[in-house]
Structure 1
Amino acid sequence: MQYKTKTASTRNFIAVAETKAKLQKGKNIQQAFLLKQLSGYKIQFNTDKQRLIIKRVKNAWERMQHLKVAVLYTVALCITGFLLYGSVIATDLHFAQQALINGKNIGIIKDTAKFESLIKDMQQSLSTTLGKEVEPTDKPVYIARLVFGKSLTSDYTLRQNILSTFGEVEEAYAIYVNDVLICAALNEQVARDAVEKIKNDNLDGTPDAQVEFVESVSIRKEFIPIGYMRSQDGIYNALTATRETPKVYKVMQNDTIWGIANKFAMSVDELYSLNKELSDVLHEGDELLISKIEYILNVQTKYVYKGEKAIPYPVNEIQDYDMPLGKKSVVVAGVEGKKYVVEEITKQNDEIVDRNIISEEILSEPVAESVKVGMKKDLSTVAISGKLARPVFGTISSRYGNRSRGFHKGLDIAAPTGTPIKAADGGTVTFSGWSGGYGYLVKINHGNGYETYYGHCSSISVSPGEKVAKGELIAKVGNTGRSTGPHCHFEVRLNGVAQNPSKYIN
């Protein structure tokens, strides 16, 4: 059965209706299939647009399938992103910036804030070195880059490139000692000649000597502040100079203040001035500031010495009680022996630090010397001569006068415990024994108001009332009483008033 329509839209609508009508009459497999297919569509006719609208109707299962596909795509996209990021990390890729100043490439950096802080620090450092204000560089320009880690600019190269943008620098040959910049030269040969001259000056007259620097020395071509520029002589002087630097010393068992001062060629007063809170009693583990002279560059020389060396002769003393005390007279002159030695000598800064005997052969034995030693006491006093003998052989560690801990009434002569203390002049012992802060003390009266004190003794050899001669043993050096180390505290008194001992000692 057929119908004729005037429009396509009308025809389509009637055709569908007709199809449905026909399908309702037939009950076969095809009809069931078509009905099933049509049930999945929504059919409408738009009268305004004169158009037939057919829409596919999705059931719940189909909607779930579409949702599942969407979720799978999202997960896949996330996984791909993570894999891409992981690939960037695994291949050492970095998001970085290429820094330029005045159009000049400075380097590839990761942190612009750190880079600009570095520029500022270098400007201040350069101003300090030159002693005047250095103009800042133009503001850096950055270009984003994705680079491998090895493409990032090293700190050293970055600093050099930044330095090159300042006006107060020159490209020169810098001399480093243990990676510390010492000086520089515009000419590479000038720098190398100055370093070589130091080695030649330490050959010690031995062409076969091995001369090496204890520290590492390197010459690098780089941009350097002009304040570091030197001539060849200037480089030599800079590398051979010394400096006094404070160091921390940890007190060890049996250390004394005097011993520490003596060890580092300091006076006790210098040690006290560096350590304001220092007490007279030291404890193991205490830390003290000490002053130490150091070379900028230490030079070590090794060579083999072959030749004759003298063998010292022994001295036999013969006591003579008719000869004044302290006088000596040679009876039989000694003769040095000789030996041929082969030894390896190691010097550092022209001071022998090690000897290694390879072989030696005695060429002649030494002959002993005989000497008469005077034992006769001389009871003359300072009141007659006006001069005193030095009571002990040692180092003056503290002089008469004002010092950080108050007025010092005597002269401190540092020496190892047990060193002999001798009477500075003839006289009578007025006191020998313990005396508070003096420790073990000896007093000698020389007449006419003169008296001498010998303090901090470890032992005493005389008694009160005993007559002693100039140069006679009266005690031994110690560390008793209020003492910072083994020494002899020597006082000269006139009518009970302390005098400056240095004015009386020969």
Structure 2
Amino acid sequence: MDQERLSHAKDVSNGDTDKGQIKDQNQSRRQRRSPFARLASGIALCGAWVIRLLLYLLYGLLKLILLLGRGLLQLKKPLGRLKQALMQPLRIRMRHADQVQQNMRAARKKGRKHFAAALLESAHAYVWGEDGLFITIFNYAAPIASLAFLAGVVFYGAHLQYGLVVQYNGEEIGVVASEAEFDAAASEVHKRIANVELADPLIYTPKFSLTIVNDTSDYVPTSVLADRMLSSSDAVLIQACGVFVDDRFVGAVTSGQEIEFALSERLADFNAPAGATDVRYENEVTFRSGMYLEDSLMETEEMIQKLTASERYRTKYTVQPGDSVVQVARKFSMTESGLRELNPELEDGECEPGTRLTVIRTSSFLPIQYTERMTLTSFIDYDSIEVNTSSVNKGDTRVLVPGVKGEKSNVVDIVYVDGAEASRTVIRSEVLSEPVTEQVGIGTYTAQPMSQNTVLRGSGQFSWPVDGGYISDPFISDRNHKGLDIAAPGGTEIYAAGAGTVTYAGWNAGGYGYLVMVDHGDGYVTVYGHCSMIFVSEGQEVSRGQHIAAVGSTGRSSGNHLHFEVRYNGMYCDPSGFLRVNAD
């Protein structure tokens, strides 16, 4: 056992001795290598790793681009070919870097001279060889530089400003941004020569050419371009001030100051109603200095007279719904007495819609307008509806609830031009009273006498109370009869002649038999006697045409009939005066 341990210890000791000898040999080799060789070897290894790292980064970037575009199936194959084309030089460089490392390791074993020669040869091939670093960088850098150059050219061109050189009547008169600006200048020239005869030949056809503009100030304004267009003609021109009304040329004057002052004075002297606001000219007056034809020049006084001219004349006005004499007079800034004097047919009455009235209007070259705020009351039309009702005989109609117009208060801005109303705008409204809807009753009550020969032309306040029948005994007759007897078969339906409250329903010992009395609330009471059956009770509300009883012969009666009475404040009335049947 002790010998085995000693033998094992000896083997271990020998192993340690061998490892130490190898370590010493490596150290001695490193000591024998020159500093230049170690530096060159380190640079080569660092360069290889840097290149490898850059290649891996570029490879990862390409993988990311491919991953993002993988969803586009139509680009998959082109991207794959692009990947192969881009990765081929990288793979070559990676294989070349591995080959350099292998050559360097092999040369190091052969000695210092071989290592130095291999190092120089590998460095030259790595950098300047056919597949060297320089060629690889150039292959990548050249397309990138080309793209950058193209982008720079596009960016530069996109920021260039272009203009049109205008050649007019053989002369170059300026640069404009577009043909629309020339058209505006031509329109300005047309306005300036509109009042001059034989001025059309002054307009020539322009020629345009493209140019690069370095500064926007190189563009010629429309007014200057118009001056140059006129100057290029053979017409006699003068520097003046043009007067325009709503962009329409009126004429030219030497100075516009006196005209502006005269127009301002006219506004100041205008006698506007109290409370009028925004007093101004309806048309916009502008003054533009520039070149004008000498024939368009006017004297200042002549221009003032033309702009301030006005006349009054008679005309006709059709009265509108809702117009009154006062409102019509106000529309034309007239007095009520003045309007009546021009229209004697009005006398002291009001005007009807559709009437043609004579009024006075004012027409001015430059009308003056103003705004007057007023509070006016207007009506709100009511609606009309139809309702079926038994309170009206079938085929007849009657207004059950009269319609009433509503009222509202309106705050209105009324614009007057030359004293006549031109427009009005409602600022706010307030309903003073709501309209009441008209209700028109469409008759559904069908009870009529058995024969159409029974004609009653009463007021129609009450309806025929029996479903059929005929008059067997009139009011008074020969026995001081206090009602109207209507004969009909027993059990025939009896209807309430009008809406009201049942004040009695039962047996009457005074000869009426079974009796119903209905109070209609306006002093009138209707009575239904000799009934065979009663279908209502005291205190019950009934409507016109409601089934309340049946014809019979109870009490002092000689046959089936209804004894029908109409009483007013206790007095007996002839029922036929309240019934209207078979009457035109």
Q: What TM-score, normalized to structure 2? A: 0.30
Q: Which structure carries more strand by proportion?
A: 1
Q: Return the structure number with greater relative CO, CA threshold 8 A, min gap 6.
A: 1
Bigger-Rg structure (1/2): 2
TM-score by structure 1 length? 0.33
Structure having the larger proportion of residues in helix: 2
